[in-house]
C-alpha cells in the first residue's frame, strides 16, 4: 500500500472535538487505500504549560528530565487520536518515539534525527494496522533517554518519516490554509500560493514566515519529500493548500514570490575596530561560542587602520552578544571604542527563484522603500533573496508597499 504522512499541529488537536475532526480526515485517506502515518503535536498550549512547570520546579534544570516532561504532551495526543480512530473502526495504535524507534543525537532539547528504521511500523501495517499515530517532537538518544527536537520539531518528525517510508506525500495540517505571498494580517491583498519551491519556502521560513519549521523544509528539500500545507478547518479537496516541491514543478515564474519579515531584530555596531587580517574571526568566533545567531554583516570602509563592523541578531540575544564581545575585549582578543545596539529595527525580505534570471528586483525594492520615506540601514542578498533592516515602526508600511510593487496579489 502507498504511505501517506499526515501531521496535525497543536491548534488542530487542541480539543477532543478537533481530534475527532482530524481523525475523520485520516479516515478519508485510509478509505482511498493509503497506509497512514499520523504525526501529532501536543494539544495547543500544553507544551508551554509543561515548560513552565519545569522552570518553576528547577530553574537550572537537567535537560534530560526537561525532555522527559515536555515530550509527554505529544504522548497524550497520540493516545487520544488512536482511541478516536479505533472508535471509528479504523485499525490504529499509538507510537512513542522510543517505540519506533526515532534515533536521535543526545543533544537534549535540541536533538537531531539520525535514523528512523521502518521495520516495526511496516510489520504492523502488514498485520492489518492502517494508521500509526506517532508522537512528534521526540526521539531516543544512543543512551536510551527521551530526547526532544526543539520547538516546532513535529514538522521535522513528519518530514523525516515521509523520507524514511518513501511516502507519496507529507501533509502538514495547521490553522492556516496554505503559504501566502505575505502575512494576510498585514496585507489584505496577500494571495495563497498553489505551489512554492523548496528553496523559496526555506528562505521564507528562515526569514520569519512561521508556516513551517526551517529544519523540516531542509529535510524535505534534501530527500525530495513533497509537502502540502493545509488547514484543518476547511473542507478537504485535492486543490486545497500549498504544495512545496521542486523548482521544476512550480508554475509561477515571477521574480518575487513572497515578502517575509522578522519583527524582533537588533542591529549592533562595533565602532572603531582594528582593520587587520583575522578581525572578523576574532569578533564572530566569541559570538558563535555564545550561541548568538548572527545574520546580516557589514564592514565599513577602513579609515586610518580602523573600521566599524555592523551585524544583526535576534533582540533576545543582544545581552548575550554584549557579554561575549565585552569578554573578548577584556581578554585582548579585540578592541573597539563603543558597542551600539539598536533594538528598534525589523528585517524585510523579498524572496523568489525568479531573481536568478530576472533583473531589477533590488532597484524596485529600494525605490519603493525610498518613495515611502523608509531609510535602509543594512542590506544583505543571496541568489534568491534581498533583505533589509529598517526602523520597526515602518514594518507594515514596507510589507504592504513591496507586496503592491511586485504585484503579488495577481496570479501569473
- Residue indicated by cell numbers 586610518: 304
Per the annotation, does 224 bind a ligand? no
Omega into 101 within 30° of 0, i.e. cis? yes
β partners of residue 265: 314, 345
Per the annotation, does 181 bind a ligand? no
β partners of residue 230: 173
If phi > 0 it is left, if psi is from -120 to 50 it is alpha, else beta; for residue 376 that is beta
Euclidean distance between CA atoms 367 and 405, whole angstroms:
10
Per the annotation, does 49 bind a ligand? no
Per the annotation, does 143 bind a ligand? no
- What does DSSP say about strands 92-95 and 131-135: parallel, antiparallel, or unpaired? parallel
Is 144 strand, coil or helix?
coil
Per the annotation, does 8 bind a ligand? yes
Nearest to 172 by CA among 14, 9, 62: 9
Instruction: State the cell numbers at 258.
Output: 513572497
Sign of the C-alpha dihedral computed for residues 59, 65, 66 and 72 taken in this order? negative
Euclidean distance between CA atoms 360 and 283, whole angstroms:
34
Per the annotation, does 114 bind a ligand? no
Per the annotation, does 174 bind a ligand? yes
Instruction: State the cell numbers at 116.
Output: 528512523
Per the annotation, does 66 bind a ligand? no
Sign of the C-alpha dihedral computed for residues 204, 208, 210 and 214 taken in this order? positive
Per the annotation, does 93 bind a ligand? no
Q: Are 167 and 161 in contact (CB under 8 A)?
A: yes
Q: How far is CA 355 from CA 360, 380, 411, in A?
A: 9, 14, 17
Per the annotation, does 7 bind a ligand? yes
The H or E element containing residue 218 is: helix 214-223
Q: Enumerate residues 6+ apart whose C-beta is below 8 A from 31.
A: none
Q: Are 140 and 190 in contact (CB under 8 A)?
A: no
Instruction: State the cell numbers at 275.
Output: 582593520
The alpha helices in 88-213, defined as continuous H runs, are: 119-126, 153-164, 198-206
Per the annotation, does 175 bind a ligand? yes
Instruction: State the cell numbers at 238.
Output: 485535492
Q: Are 313 and 364 in contact (CB under 8 A)?
A: no
Per the annotation, does 74 bind a ligand? yes
Gyration radius from the chain CA atoms: 23
Bind-site residues for ATP: 7-10, 174-175, 180, 185, 210-211
Residues belonging to the binding site are 7-10, 47, 74, 174-175, 180, 185, 210-211
Please enumerate, by residue number, every residue annotated as part of a binding site for substrate: 47, 74
Amino acid at each position: 500500500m502507498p504511505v501517506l504522512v499526515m501531521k496535525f499541529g497543536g491548534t488542530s488537536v487542541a480539543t477532543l472535538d478537533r481530534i475527532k475532526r482530524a481523525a475523520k480526515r485520516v479516515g478519508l485517506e485510509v478509505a482511498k487505500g493509503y497506509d497512514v502515518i499520523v504525526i501529532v503535536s501536543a494539544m495547543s498550549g500544553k507544551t508551554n504549560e509543561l515548560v513552565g512547570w519545569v522552570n518553576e520546579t528547577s530553574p537550572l534544570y537537567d535537560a534530560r528530565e526537561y525532555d522527559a516532561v515536555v515530550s509527554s504532551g505529544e504522548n497524550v495526543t497520540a493516545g487520544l487520536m488512536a482511541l478516536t480512530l479505533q472508535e471509528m473502526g479504523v485499525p490504529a495504535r499509538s507510537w512513542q518515539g522510543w517505540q519506533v524507534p526515532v534515533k536521535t543525537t543526545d543533544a537534549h532539547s535540541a536533538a537531531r534525527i539520525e535514523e528512523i528504521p521502518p521495520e516495526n511500523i511496516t510489520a504492523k501495517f502488514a498485520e492489518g494496522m492502517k494508521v500509526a499515530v506517532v508522537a512528534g517532537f521526540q526521539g531516543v538518544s544512543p543512551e536510551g533517554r527521551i530526547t526532544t527536537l526543539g520547538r516546532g520539531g513535529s514538522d521535522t518528525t513528519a518530514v523525516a518519516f515521509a523520507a524514511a517510508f518513501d511516502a507519496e506525500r507529507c501533509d502538514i495540517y495547521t490553522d492556516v490554509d496554505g503559504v501566502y505571498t505575505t502575512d494576510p494580517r498585514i496585507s489584505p491583498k496577500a494571495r495563497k500560493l498553489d505551489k512554492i519551491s523548496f528553496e523559496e519556502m526555506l528562505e521564507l521560513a528562515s526569514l520569519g514566515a512561521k508556516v513551517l519549521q526551517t529544519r523540516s523544509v531542509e529535510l524535505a528539500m534534501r530527500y525530495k519529500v513533497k509537502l502540502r500545507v493545509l488547514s484543518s478547518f476547511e473542507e478537504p479537496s485535492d486543490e486545497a493548500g500549498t504544495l512545496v516541491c521542486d523548482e521544476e514543478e512550480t508554475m509561477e515564474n515571477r521574480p518575487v514570490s513572497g515578502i517575509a519579515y522578522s519583527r524582533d531584530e537588533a542591529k549592533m555596531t562595533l565602532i572603531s575596530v582594528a582593520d587587520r587580517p583575522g578581525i572578523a574571526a576574532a569578533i564572530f568566533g566569541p559570538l558563535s561560542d555564545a550561541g548568538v545567531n548572527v545574520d546580516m554583516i557589514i564592514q565599513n570602509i577602513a579609515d586610518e587602520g580602523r573600521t566599524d563592523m555592523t551585524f544583526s541578531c535576534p533582540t533576545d540575544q543582544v545581552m548575550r552578544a554584549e557579554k561575549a564581545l565585552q569578554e573578548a575585549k577584556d581578554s585582548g582578543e579585540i578592541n573597539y571604542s563603543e558597542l551600539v545596539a539598536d533594538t528598534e529595527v525589523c528585517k524585510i525580505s523579498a524572496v523568489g527563484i525568479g531573481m536568478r534570471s530576472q533583473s531589477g528586483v533590488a532597484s524596485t525594492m529600494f525605490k519603493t522603500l525610498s518613495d515611502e520615506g523608509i531609510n535602509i540601514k543594512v542590506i544583505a542578498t543571496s541568489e534568491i533573496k534581498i533583505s533589509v533592516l529598517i526602523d520597526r515602526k515602518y514594518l507594515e508600511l514596507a510589507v504592504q508597499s513591496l507586496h503592491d510593487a511586485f504585484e503579488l496579489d495577481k496570479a501569473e
